Chains A and B, each alone.
Chain A
Amino acid sequence: MRFSRKALGIPYGIFLLLFVAAPLAVLFYYAFTNGSGQFTFRNLTGFFTDANTLGTLFYSFALAFVTTVVCLLIAYPTAYFLAHSRLKSKSVMIMLFIMPMWINFSLRITALKELLTMIEGNLACYPFLNSVLGMTYDFLPFMILPIYNVLTRLDQSLVEAAKDLGANNTRTFLKVTLPLSMPGVMSGVMMVFLPAMTNYVVLDMLYNSTYIMGSLIGSYFSAYNWHGGSMISLILLGIICLFTLLTDTDKEENVRGGTLL
């Protein structure tokens, strides 16, 4: 048999089949069956009629939303400053923002926990705030880098053109710099919002006992309710797909803008 370039795809094809397609099929099977293996929509309707699960969905959304906004408010000015500074130590500065990503995640959160305990005394008093802080700490670099990438690649003659045509600094920023950096903002939001909805380890470690989507799914599986757990996973998948479609309307912009690293 002749070796063709297609053969190079075989390892990944096997991986895809075993660890992506097959689990997804299993997920679908469990989501739409009951304990005795019969087809049902009960799991789906159950999710949207149960006050607890809906509450968790809302809480996850709120947590992810606030985290994303806080990250954005810190990341955009930082990225803007980094992109426009003429510092010789620019690469060092960027390093400083990336370096936490190289330290083990649980170690970082443990450190944060100790710090917050020192400040707040009892961590249980501010569970939402602590979770937002933990997640912001964890996800901030994922917001800074794509925005930084877009801003450094922004053609400065466009900024000059805006000023030349009579726009002051504020209007130049609002009409040119900001719209043209949206692809970076969008990929940053994707990188922060979706993990923030599910990363329950941060909550666990910071003693926030409220469920978010990740912990909710975990709880179903540890209670051997595979059918309910699968359905929630599937719903989350649906939300993520919807989110991606909404933010990815302008394909051309995204190619030009920066996805991470």
Chain B
Amino acid sequence: MEKAENIIELKAITKIFNDNFTAVSDLNLEVKQGEFVTFLGPSGCGKTTTLRMIAGFEQPTQGQILLNGQDISPLPPHLRPVNTVFQRYALFPHMNVYENIAFGLKQKKTPRDVIDKKVGEVLELVDLEGFEERSVSTLSGGQQQRIAIARALVNEPEILLLDEPLGALDLKMRKEMQLELKNMHRELGITFIYVTHDQEEALTMSDKIVVMNDGKIQQIGTPEDIYNEPRNAFVADFIGESNIFNGIMTGHLKARFAGGVFDVVDDYPEGTRITGVVRPEDIIITAPSEGTVRGTVSDIVFKGMHYEITVESGRYEWVIQNIRTPEIGAAVGLKVDPNEIHIMQAEDHTNYFNVDMNKEHRLEFNGHVLDADLAKIIKGSSRNAAGTLIGANGEVIDPAKVRIVAAIAPKDIEMTDNAEESLVQGEITNLIYKGDHYSYVISTDIGQDFIVDDEYLWNMGDWVGLILPPDKMNFSVKR
């Protein structure tokens, strides 16, 4: 039989738990022989569930798992030629190191002398020669981790599954083990499937990264692809630090976002709603007159290798990494090389903007009080008799310590000539006919762009007021 190029294929895997929680939905993945593949995502994204389905601890609700072209989904874990390194090592406490490592071989009725030889070899591989008789409880975390790896590898699995194996180790140990695992992978040529929520770990070790969120694959690619060409805002945000802005294409290779028009290299038709992603290290600080956008330095943090500089530009915030820094309060310009701006077509075009909490604990935007109940927005809070907002632990909430972001869809914003009834005013800087409605970009006098859908025609350069109904806004609390 011809050996399949893909050692393992997941076909349309869905996992729904008893309580109707969909952990993984319609997941398709191919892993090649000898690859180091990492499932990366925040906790609860379905990465561990996927790994457990490959190991056989969970049964997929739907779909097939093909190992070398054979469907293994009905097989129980002990009949699958894969082995797992568990998050908390899971070494048997009633056995010594030798017995732990020999456990798998004994199940296969391997002769004693062969077991002895293999245990010795694998202990050498993990640099723990002579530890056979040690009790596992006398080992350090790092040593236990090595034994757990040895215990899995001694069975010569076709695939080694690693479930956040370095999560319990300290930073220095973790870095060491990352390199050692990478070396082991290179030496042994076995396929590794690795689960982590640590993006740096994933970038360091993997041949291929599978970014997951909400049970779905967000992007599959090499570490370079994932970092440089994130496919959506989630990936961009999760991998490394990013400045992410909603915007719109205003012309050929020109995108408007964050209050400025940038030259870009991604070609989308004019009027396409986009998300612009700029890595903090790619932003160039210039004199105010030379920047694409202008702003004021509001915060500087020394990070050892570089400074992390926060620049307020209108109502947008830029995070910049640089080895030199201007003073706090300095007026600066910001520009970005077109090659370093990553433009993605946006899935939705919700307007996000910061709203303030005033001293009376009411929401305020651009000096107008919003008719929205803060007690419902901040979890666990309530108002006392005097109308003061009290947190879950009975403390008075400090308006300065809470940042609230409001979201409103373009179709929920109304434009008006009457400045009196509007929350904010601005100039129409872009308009596109979308078949049944017009899509406008309004650059407001407070330095924030709003995208508004309206069926009536207004003109470029019109000065309009925007009505933002608070009942159509979604509020979320940051920090």
A residues lining the B interface (CB < 8 Å): 155, 157-158, 160-168, 171-172, 175-176, 179-180, 252-253
Stretch with Cβ within 8 A of A (4 or more), from B37-45, B82-90, B469-477: B82-90
Compute how far the CA of A163 lies from the CA of B83 in the bound complex, rounded to whole angstroms: 10
Give the residues in chain A near B77, CB-CB below 8 Å.
Answer: 160, 163-164
Contact in complex: B90, A158 (CB < 8 Å): yes
Q: How far is the CA of A160 from the CA of B88 in the complex (A)?
A: 12
Name which residue of chain B comes closest to A256, CB basis: B93
- In the complex, which residues of chain B have a beta carbon less than 8 angstroms from the beta carbon of A161? 84, 86, 90-92, 151
CA distance A180 to B87 in the complex (A): 20
Which residue, of A158, A160, A166, A176, has the highest number of chain B Cβ atoms within 10 A?
Answer: A166
* B90/A165 in contact, CB under 8 A: no
B368 at the interface (CB under 8 A from A): no
Task: List chain A residues, Cβ under 8 A from B93.
Answer: 158, 180
Which of B87, B88, B107 makes the CB contact (< 8 A) with A165?
B107
Contact partner of A162 (CB less than 8 A), chosen from B82, B103, B108, is B103
Q: Contacting A167 at CB < 8 Å: which of B78, B94, B137?
A: B78
Please provide the chain B residues from 85 to 112 with a CB less than 8 Å away from any CB of chain A in the complex.
86-88, 90-94, 103-104, 107-108
A160-B77, A160-B86 known; A166+B108 contact, CB < 8 A: yes
Given A163-B76, A163-B78, 6 more A-B residue pairs with CB atoms under 8 Å apart are: A161-B84, A164-B78, A165-B151, A165-B152, A167-B78, A167-B103
- In the assembled complex, the Cα of A164 lies from the Cα of B87 at a distance in Å of 14
Chain A minimum-CB-distance residue to B80: A164
B55 on interface, CB distance cutoff 8 Å: yes
Distance from B365 Cβ to chain A, minimum over Cβ atoms (Å)? 47
The residues of B that contact A158 with a CB separation of less than 8 Å are 90, 92-93
Alpha-carbon distance A173/B137, docked complex (angstroms): 22
In the complex, what residues of A have CB within 8 A of residue B88's CB? 155, 157
A165–B84 Cα gap in the complex (Å)? 8
Q: Given the complex of chains A and B, what is the CA–CA distance between A157 and B57 in angstroms?
A: 10
CB–CB A164/B107 < 8 A: no
Most buried by B among A158, A176, A252: A158
Are B90 and A155 interface neighbours, CB within 8 A?
yes
B155 near A: Cβ within 8 Å?
A: yes
| CB-defined contacts of B91 to chain A, threshold 8 Å | 161
Contact A164 B55 (CB under 8 A): yes
| B residues in contact with A155, CB < 8 Å | 88, 90
User: Could you list some 30 contacts between A and B, CB below 8 A?
Assistant: A155-B88, A155-B90, A157-B87, A158-B93, A160-B55, A160-B90, A161-B84, A161-B90, A161-B91, A161-B92, A162-B92, A162-B103, A163-B78, A164-B55, A164-B56, A164-B57, A164-B77, A164-B82, A165-B78, A165-B83, A165-B107, A165-B151, A166-B78, A166-B104, A166-B155, A167-B78, A168-B76, A168-B78, A180-B92, A180-B94
Residue of B with least CB distance to A161: B90
Given contacts A165-B107, A165-B151, A167-B107, contact A176 B90 (CB under 8 A): no
Interchain CA distance A172-B107 in the complex, whole Å? 10
Among B90, B91, B155, chain A packs the most CB atoms within 10 A around the CB of: B90
Give chain B residues whose Cβ lies under 8 Å from the Cβ of A160.
55, 57, 77, 84, 86, 90
Scoring B91, B93, B152 by chain A CB atoms within 10 A of each residue's CB, the highest score goes to B93
Complex interface: chain A residues within 8 A of B108 (CB): 166
Which of chain A's residues have a CB closer than 8 A to the CB of B104? 165-166
For window 49-79 of B, CB contacts with A under 8 Å fall at 55-57, 76-79
CB distance from A158 to the nearest CB of B (A): 5
B24 vs chain A, min Cβ distance (A): 19
Q: Which residues of chain A are within 8 angstroms of B79 by Cβ–Cβ distance?
A: 166
Q: Which residue of B lies closest to A164 (CB)?
A: B84
Chain A residue contacts of B137, Cβ below 8 A: 252
A166→B109 CA distance, assembly (Å): 11
Q: Which of B88, B104, B151, B152 is packed against the most chain A CB atoms within 10 Å?
A: B104
Q: A88 to chain B: closest CB distance in Å?
A: 12
Bound-complex Cα distance A163 to B78 (A):
5
Given known A160-B57, A163-B76, A164-B83, contact A171–B92 (CB-CB < 8 A): no
Q: Which residue of A lies closest to B103 (CB)?
A: A165
For A166, give its contact among B57, B86, B107 (CB under 8 Å): B107
Q: Which of A163, A171, A252 has the most CB of B within 10 A?
A: A163
Which chain B residues border A172 with CB–CB below 8 Å?
78
Q: Which of B78, B86, B94, B152 contacts A157 (CB 8 A)?
A: B86
Which residues on A sit within 8 Å (CB–CB) of B87? 157
Interface pair B83/A171, CB less than 8 Å apart: no
- What residues of chain B lie closer than 8 Å to A165, measured between beta carbons? 78, 83, 103-104, 107, 151-152, 155
User: Bound complex: CA of A80 vs CA of B470, how far in Å?
Assistant: 56
A252 to B86, CA, bound (A): 24
**What distance in Å separates the Cβ of A161 from its nearest Cβ neighbour in chain B?**
4
- Closest A residue to B57 by CB, please name it: A160
Give the contacts of B11-62 with A (CB-CB under 8 A): 55-57
Complex Cα–Cα for A157 and B90 (A):
6
A253 to B79, CA, bound (A): 32
With both chains docked as a complex, state the minimum distance between the C-beta of A22 and any C-beta of chain B, in angstroms. Answer: 42
Least distance between B83 CB and chain A CB atoms (Å): 6
Name the residue on B nearest A182 (C-beta): B94
User: Which 6 pairs, one residue from A and one from B, show the smallest C-beta to C-beta distance?
Assistant: A165-B104, A166-B107, A157-B90, A161-B90, A163-B77, A164-B84
Residue of A nearest to B83 (CB): A164
A176–B107 CA distance with the chains assembled, in angstroms: 13
Chain B residues within 8 Å of A180, by CB: 92-94
CB-CB < 8 A to B82: which residues of A?
Answer: 164
For the complex, what is the distance from the CA of A161 to the CA of B165, rounded to whole Å?
14
CB of B157 to closest CB in A, whole Å = 9
Question: Once bound together, how far apart are the Cα atoms of A176 and B104, in whole Å?
Answer: 13
Residues from chain A with a CB closer than 8 A to the CB of B84 are: 160-161, 164
Q: How far is the CB of B282 from chain A (nearest CB, A)?
A: 43
Within the complex, the shortest CB–CB distance from B376 to chain A, in Å, comes to 32
Task: List, in ascending order, chain B residues with CB within 8 A of A179's CB.
Answer: 94
In the bound complex, residues from chain B placing their C-beta under 8 Å from that of A167 are 78, 103, 107
Closest-CB distance, B6 to chain A (whole angstroms): 22
Query: Smallest distance from the beta carbon of B138 to chain A beta carbons, Å?
Result: 11
Q: How far is the CA of A253 from the CA of B93 in the complex (A)?
A: 9
A175 to B83, CA, bound (A): 18
